[in-house]
Chains A and B, each alone.
Chain A
Amino acid sequence: MSRKLLVIAPALLIVLVSLWEIVATHRDVSSVPGDAAWDAAATIVRADYRPGDLIEFAPDWIDPVGRLHLGDLIAPGVAARMDAARYSRIWEVSVRGARARDTIGLSPVIEQTIEGVTVRRFERGAAVVVTDFAQALGGATSDGVHPTLELAEVGFAPHQCVQVIPIPGKPTTLAFHAAALGGSLVGYVGLADVFTRRDIRGPGELAVEIDGVRVADVHPGVDDGWVRFEAPTTAGLHDVAFTASATAPQRLICFAAEARQ
């Protein structure tokens, strides 16, 4: 009997894998919830949505479908936020058991799953922003080409950021005089534009000085994405300078920073 089983085992294996594949393929085709489920999930969010709430979708690849159903509640600037720290209420709408990066470690205050779409709401203490340097760009001075405020692709994600394209070997400094600071300065920097990142492989550099003292020095490379930096600060008015430099041309150095209480 066991010898007979051994002889038919290869055939059995092919048949079982084939059957599994037929069933699995059928299941996979309908494994992502459709518009009816998303409409129901959107109804839940809209019923308790407050201006200032952040809405996120998970996994990342479902984002276009999420924006199709709830995109009217997401301003471009919010979608291109620096990070999620300033949001006290976060809605996470997800499929396939995925979690958004910003909600990992948080416990939901509500959680409801409808036909495969899970809606969770998280609440927490938000960071209080004293100065948003990207928004304050108009009041800054530059010793080179004046930086621009962009909604750019950095690390394949959207970010509203201050973009500087320094001449190789000639750093560009952006100075904010008498900027209000709190207990910390948090920022992110990266290289914008996938094609210049592909064609020119050198990193950029962003140095941050407060009252002439260097508090951060970041060297974002082509594969580093949106790189976080943080420095402790003392509350009050201070001169803050961001210096972007690169040895390679066409480094689209894009950064955002917030002084937080």
Chain B
Amino acid sequence: MTLTLTPKRIGLLLAIATTVLVLVNQRSVGIARDETVYFTAGDHYADWWVKTLTFRSHATIAQTFGGAFGGEANPEHPPLLKLASGLSHRWLPFAGELTAYRLPSAILHGVCAYLVFAFALELWGLAEAVLAALCLIVLPRALFHAGLDCFDAPSMALWFATIYAYWRCLDGRRWPWQVGVAWGLALATKHTALLLPFALGVHLVAISIRARRIEHWRVVISLAVLGPLTLFVLWPWLWSAPIAHVRDWLAFHMHHVHYNFEYLGVNWNAPPFPWHVAIVTTLLTVPAATLVAAVIGACVMRKRGELKLPSVLLLVSACASIGPFFLGTTPIFGAEKHWMPILPTLCIAAGVGAAWAARKAGEAIGRPRIATIVVGGGLVLAGASEVIAAEPYALTWYSALAGGDAGGADLGMNRQFWGVAARGVLAEIAKQPPAPVYTHDASPAWGWYQRLGLVPKGYPDAGHEAAGIAASKLAIVIHEKHFNRHDYMIWKAYGTVQPIFVLRANGVPIVSLYKRP
């Protein structure tokens, strides 16, 4: 039996390769502060659902999904990814605890690569589809985020799943339920999916104007009914008081605290923020070759005049995701992870641009295949070289356009967040005599590092702030501009400014380890 490499199989192979790459990469990525909350919440959610569906006694909905915002049940974020990671942890212990938690996000990144491939294949061609998917796979920051048990990469996947389902539902089908369910899944992953109707609405209006009649009203019904319904079904916290709990959920994000975030040398923690944060950050965190190909692709895509305006759909999808960050009031912490849904648009544009350029060059030199290999290969290798440079500390990484990690530091771009880099000093800590450790921003993850055997016994977390430093004999500082004060507290308590080890990402300091003299 021979297995033909059909386009669909190529897409599936790319999706599997994406998931595998994410899973391999995340093995050396430390535990993000927020992940620890999602681990616990996910375990509780999974337990609740399994016991509910098997008619066993269990905790109440309020105990499992409710409580104060910022608490263990994490009611400030919808449950889908947490539930998936909890189930994965429950059912796939052989994968390793951390990997099991992160598996759903990795799979969704593979799904995203597949959908990018499928969308580009349907509208442009195989070369475009392959290059678009590969461009997505070699985005260093996206690869990093996809390896965390967090919502950002999954929300990109489900955002684009909604876009794709919407596109497919424009075929006039009688029951376009897929788009409503996809949007519901996106909503059940992250609140940013609330921006999707703006994109879809603009697109529907555009194609209705072009058709001179109201088009695809069933799609609107599907979105309006099945989207909220899916969210409701998946989030038991809404069952008892849907309006009040949705209001609380949205109010939390509308009035979210502005975390400290460095941008162009300034520590920002209050609006108004610069209007150009999203543009500059995107320019410096997407490989330069991908950006160039995307610009070419955008020009080429515009020339195509399909009745259903696919290029417009991709454009409004990106605009709806990134648009709020031009207002100057939307929190900028987290930067590119909050507007990740622009990436499928960008990568499809890059795939289309590169394939078009290669095709034209191939026709001119009479070697179409060689042109495609050279152009596409160069594009993907450029991204791959950035991935190699970036991982596992991709939050410190900036592209060659910035001058790499050091160039980003020179520009005063944010160094990192979430305390992930602490993992890189655990081996150094273990070389020291056992002692209490001031664990700084890695405090929430410390118990997990101990549980996973990455920190030997005998190195307890000494506690928080000045009291923790006073009780410690070892101390780490995870470098961010607003964390400088932790260095100074340690200097004062230890009587020295000299660390014993400085972890660097491509030469840029990311964690200092101090030892009390």
Contacts and interface: CB of A to CB of B under 8 A. Distances in A.
A158 B488 contact: yes
Interface stretch (B28-36, B57-65, B201-209, B491-499): B491-499
Contact of A32 (B415, B484, B497, B506): B506
Contacts of B358: 11
B507 interface: yes
Interface string B380-403: 011001101100000000011001
A198 B379 contact: no
A153 to B, nearest CB: 4
A93 to B, nearest CB: 14
Report which residue of A7, A32, A33, A65 has the largest number of chain B beta carbons within 10 angstroms of its beta carbon: A32
Interface in B257-292: 258, 260, 267, 269-270, 287-289, 292
Given A14-B354, A68-B498, A158-B484, A22 B381 contact: yes
A198 B403 CA distance: 31
Interface in A17-50: 17-22, 24-26, 28-34
Given A17-B382, A28-B405, A59-B409, A65 B364 contact: no
Interface size grouping (class) on chain A: 35 or more
A24 B400 contact: yes
B501 A28 contact: no
A7 B361 contact: yes
B367 to A, nearest CB: 11
A157 interface: yes
B400 A28 contact: yes
Nearest to A98: B410
A237 B481 CA distance: 41
Contact of A18 (B382, B495, B506): B382
B196 to A, nearest CB: 31
B168 interface: no
Contacts of A222: 270
Secondary structure dominating the interface of A: helix
Contact of A26 (B296, B385, B479): B385
A32 B507 contact: yes
Contacts of A143: none
Given A10-B353, A68-B498, A28 B375 contact: no
A145 interface: no
B406 interface: yes
Interface in A76-107: 76, 79-80, 96, 98
Interface in A170-212: 193-194, 197-198, 201
A86 to B, nearest CB: 18
A15 B403 contact: no
Contacts of A28: 389, 400, 403-407, 506
A30 B504 CA distance: 12
A146 interface: no
B252 to A, nearest CB: 17
Given A8-B364, A12-B361, A96 B410 contact: yes
A11 B267 contact: no
B360 interface: yes
A65 B400 CA distance: 23
B228 interface: no
A213 interface: no
Given A21-B382, A21-B386, A29-B404, 13 more contacts: A7-B361, A8-B365, A14-B378, A15-B374, A24-B400, A25-B400, A33-B507, A76-B495, A80-B491, A152-B485, A158-B487, A194-B482, A198-B270
Sorted from nearest, which 9 A-B pairs have the closest CB atoms? A32-B507, A28-B404, A71-B498, A18-B378, A11-B361, A153-B485, A10-B357, A24-B400, A18-B382
